Structure 1
Amino acid sequence: MYPNLYYAVRDLLGIEFPLLKVFQTFGFFVAIAFLAAAYVLTLELKRHEKNGLLKGIPEKFTIGLPASQGEIIGNAVVGFLLGYKILGLFLQWSVASQDLQGFVFSSQGSWWAGIALAAFMGWNKYYTKKKQALPKPQEKEIMVMPHNRVPDIIVMAAVAGLLGAKVFHNLENWNDFIQDPIGALLSFSGLTFYGGLIVAAIVIITYARKKKVNVRALIDSAAPALMLAYGIGRMGCHFSGDGDWGIYNSAYGIDSTGHTVKVAPAAFNDLVQQHAGFFQQQYGDIAHIPHAPFEKPASMGFLPDWFFAYGYPHNVINEGVKMVGCEGQYCKVLPVSVYPTALYEIIACIGLFLVLWAIRKKITVPGVLFGVYLILNGTERFFIEKIRVNTKYDIFGFRPTQAEIIATLMVIGGIVLIGYCRKKYKVESTLS
């Protein structure tokens, strides 16, 4: 596993660049996911603009104004943060290099570097706008097309998605949140995809209505982008080892160096007893640890064992037991291998993205493609939950997870949406 980019570059290229420790592997893949989603969304919005489903609206802009007080202060604040942290990182390298991530997310920094860069960026904004200022500011009307709004949509999706993912995760793990609310809110781990999707969807649809963008065409455009982003985001989960894995595969164990090895059926209980301290901390009662044995079928001999069971050595959350001969910050491996569910979701969601991409032009009823996305994504997540570790709820004798509940609602919602859009399309076609 690669907790941050430093370990990835060192392992893959043999180059040691300590500054890369600041960049988390999970965050790197999330950034790639947003960029990929923005590209796909832009392509689809342009396609719908070309076929007439989406239209631009004229907006008035004033040019030639001097810099406002808010713009100057905003630039100065950004400058201070960059100077205090980024320049401070280099100025205090001897201290910061010991724990780069800890330094960046602590109160440490360089005050004078922050003040100096704040002054420069505030002045630069004032000077630049002054050079562009006109004796009499002018109003211009510009036609803004939906694809021009992609940067705004991506920023809103990122902010709303992060907040929603955090809120839903902490609701799902309420007891952990109560014990350490500040740590739970500020930690790098602990994000629930569906929470982010729900909150981001509400924010973006509200924005689309305000800007008079056809919502059904917009969500259709977003469907392939969302599936692709989910698949890429899961790469961050898998390659960093952020704890988003499945239940134990008791047909396999982990050796002292972190490699997956086959074990006898009775060996699972022996491993649990051997690492009783770890399992008691995780589950309390070691007699009821979620596991399911599944050996690699002979027909799949071409696949490595870690495809079916993995110990996530060097995982970013430092969960497990220490590996023999390992020195450094990330030296833990799970004592028993688990199902690498994030890896399965990477494969499934990239495949489903290709399906959506292939059928997108064949579906002519606006809103239906997004309904298909809801059904596919909900179905995929519902079944993967069967081998994932998650909090379960007691509802009328059933014990579903939060994701299973939302996945079921997504499938139902997708079916309802397809029916509604088809009916509405027939009515609109008759009227036209």
Structure 2
Amino acid sequence: MYPNLYYAFKDLFGIEINGLKLVNSFGFFVALSFILSAWILTLELRRKQGLGLFVHTEEKIKIGEPASLSELITNGLLGFIFGYKIIGAFTIKNALDDPQSFILSGEGNLLTGMLTALVFGILKWWEKKKVQLEKPEERIIRIWPQDRVGDIVIYAALFGFLGAKIFHNLENWNEFAADPIGSLIAFSGLTFYGGLICAGAAIIWYAKKHKISLIPMLDAFAPTMMFAYAFGRIGCQISGDGDWGIANPTPNPYSWLPDFMWSYTYPHNVLGEGVPIPGCTGPFCNQLAIPVYPTPLYELIICFVLFGVLWFFRNKIKVPGQLFSIYLVLNGIERFFIEKIRVNTEYDIPFNPTQAELISAGLVIAGITGFYYFKKVKPSI
């Protein structure tokens, strides 16, 4: 396992770069998944524009203005945070030994924070100065849905993270009640369906606000979200973030299957779970006492295959809304069955379901209903 990129580079390339201790492996792959998913979404929205499923909107912009006070303050604030924490981490003794605790603390370097704030402010002033006009002009520009992908991704990331934290704490209420502040600011503890629901609501609101045809946009999101989930699970597997399965001490019964794909102890996992690894010193020196099913590995493989299925059929399914309906069904089935071998909190009601099992069952029902609804009723797009 590689809790952060420092350990990955040390193991794979034999080089030690202390600054990489600040880059959490899980966060790195989640960030990559957003970047690559944004590219996939742009391709799909552009393709659907070519099919005449979207129309543009017009917006009035003003060009040639100097940097405003609010822009200078915003850039300066961002620069201060970057200098105070990120650059400051290299100037404070032992800060990189536990980057997460350092980032969440109030500790930092005031001097580097102030200098970086000044640099960021000057760069923003110079950026606007280069295109400043003697007399600012107003122009009307056309904006298509694919031009808004950057904003859409930001909304998805922000509300997805918020929803993931809320649903995780609802699912693990006792842990939250025991330490509310720690549960809210911890980097771990995220529930995918919470993120999906809240991000979905935010994106629907955004689409309506900017007059983007909703149903074609949801179809464009179908392969995009499956890809994002699959790629994000790479981070779960590599970092060992606790999204593993139930205990599986049974020896591998399949000669063709590598042992780590049958059961795994997640050595050097980012949570520090398990027992000490003999001979290991420093942080992240634990591994699980009993091997478990590597469910993140199973999910990333399955969901990449499902992404391929959705990508293949995106040109063949002509009824708007049906591709998104298929996504809901595939996503729900995959998650429902992986829950059977995954560690999760069960509700104390008949059948003892997990939160994800209840939501995934609802997604399957919604997907099947939607598929036949869109087939019979042409949606207003």
Normalised by the length of structure 1, the TM-score is 0.85
1:345 and 1:100 mapped to 2: Cα distance?
Answer: 29
Number of the residue aligned with 1:177: 176
Structure 1 residues 67 and 180, CA gap change in structure 2 (3 angstroms): same
CA shift for structure 1 position 127: 4.4
Does the 8 Å CA contact 1:314/1:333 hold for their aligned counterparts? yes
Number of the residue aligned with 2:98: 99
1:338 and 1:90 mapped to 2: Cα distance?
Answer: 37
1:32 and 1:69 mapped to 2: Cα distance?
Answer: 33
Q: How does 1:143-162 map to 2 (within 5 A)?
A: 143-162=142-161
Number of the residue aligned with 1:337: 291
Number of the residue aligned with 2:196: 197
Number of the residue aligned with 1:31: 31
Q: How does 1:74-89 map to 2 (within 5 A)?
A: 74-89=74-89
Task: Please state if 1:409 is matched with 2:371.
Answer: no
Q: How does 1:158-237 map to 2 (within 5 A)?
A: 158-237=157-236
Number of the residue aligned with 2:336: 382
1:116 and 1:10 mapped to 2: Cα distance?
Answer: 32
Structure 1 residues 131 and 16, CA gap change in structure 2 (3 angstroms): closer
2:98 and 2:241 mapped to 1: Cα distance?
Answer: 19
Which residues of structure 2 form unaligned runs of 5+?
none
Does the 8 Å CA contact 1:9/1:16 hold for their aligned counterparts? yes
Q: How big is each residue's C-alpha offset from its partner over 1:252-296, in whole Å with a ceiling of 9 and x where there is no partner? A: xxxxxxxxxx4xxxxxxxxxxxxxxxxxxxxxxxxxxxxxxxx42
Does the 8 Å CA contact 2:3/2:270 hold for their aligned counterparts? yes
* SS of alignment partner, residue 141 of structure 2: strand
Does the 8 Å CA contact 2:90/2:96 hold for their aligned counterparts? no
* Residue range with higher mean Cα deviation, 27-36 or 349-358: 27-36
* Residue range with higher mean Cα deviation, 131-140 or 316-325: 131-140
Task: Please state if 1:423 is matched with 2:376.
Answer: yes
State the one-letter code of the partner of 2:75: N
* SS of alignment partner, residue 142 of structure 1: strand
Does the 8 Å CA contact 1:244/1:342 hold for their aligned counterparts? yes
1:323 and 1:103 mapped to 2: Cα distance?
Answer: 25
Which residues of structure 1 form unaligned runs of 5+?
252-261, 263-294
Number of the residue aligned with 1:314: 268
Q: Rg larger in 1 or in 2?
A: 1
1:110 and 1:363 mapped to 2: Cα distance?
Answer: 56
Does the 8 Å CA contact 1:77/1:118 hold for their aligned counterparts? yes
1:124 and 1:33 mapped to 2: Cα distance?
Answer: 29
State the one-letter code of the partner of 2:311: W
CA shift for structure 1 position 14: 1.5
In the alignment of these two chains, the number of paired residues is: 381
Does the 8 Å CA contact 1:21/1:101 hold for their aligned counterparts? no
Task: Please state if 1:19 is matched with 2:19.
Answer: yes
Number of the residue aligned with 1:243: 242
Moved over 6 A (4+): none
Q: How big is each residue's C-alpha offset from its partner over 1:355-408, in whole Å with a ceiling of 9 and x where there is no partner? A: 00111100001111000000000000000101111111133x221100000000
CA shift for structure 1 position 21: 1.0
Structure 1 residues 428 and 166, CA gap change in structure 2 (3 angstroms): closer
2:281 and 2:380 mapped to 1: Cα distance?
Answer: 67
* SS of alignment partner, residue 91 of structure 1: coil
Q: What is the percentage of aligned positions where both structures have the same residue? A: 53
Q: CA RMSD in A?
A: 1.7
State the one-letter code of the partner of 1:146: P
